[in-house]
Amino acid sequence: MSAYVVFLKEEVTDQSELDAYSQKVGSSFEGRDLKFLATYGALETLEGSPIQGAVILEFPDMDTARAWYGSAEYQAAAAHRFRGARYRGFIIKGREP
């Protein structure tokens, strides 16, 4: 069953750290089975506090999503994201057909 990693960017605190994240994160995707469903496109807030951007990644299952998120490659890049902005992130299992 597919799983989705969702990141919601709430506030940028250091753009240079986000730039470093952008330069490093690409290598964490190499050799991984995932699809980019949405990446900082136009958005409209329907409920709750507005966000500055969102990313939605599709993985084959929860374990594959967790393995990517926990990988050394991603965590090295994510350290810059943590210093550069406030995000909310989660993994959600897709719906059974």
Residue-wise pLDDT tens digits, 62-83 = 999 999 999 999 999 999 999 9
Fold held by 3-43+50-93: Alpha-Beta Plaits (3.30.70)
- Whether 42 contacts 86, CB under 8 Å: no
Sign of the alpha-carbon dihedral angle for 31, 33, 35, 36: negative
Distance CA 2, CA 95 (A): 8
Check residue 22 and give its pLDDT: 96
Q: Rounded CA gap, 16 and 64, in Å?
A: 30
The predicted-structure confidence for 6-64, as pLDDT tens digits, reads as follows: 999 999 999 999 999 999 999 999 999 999 999 999 999 999 999 999 999 999 999 99
Quick one: pLDDT band at residue 96, thresholds 50, 70, 90?
confident
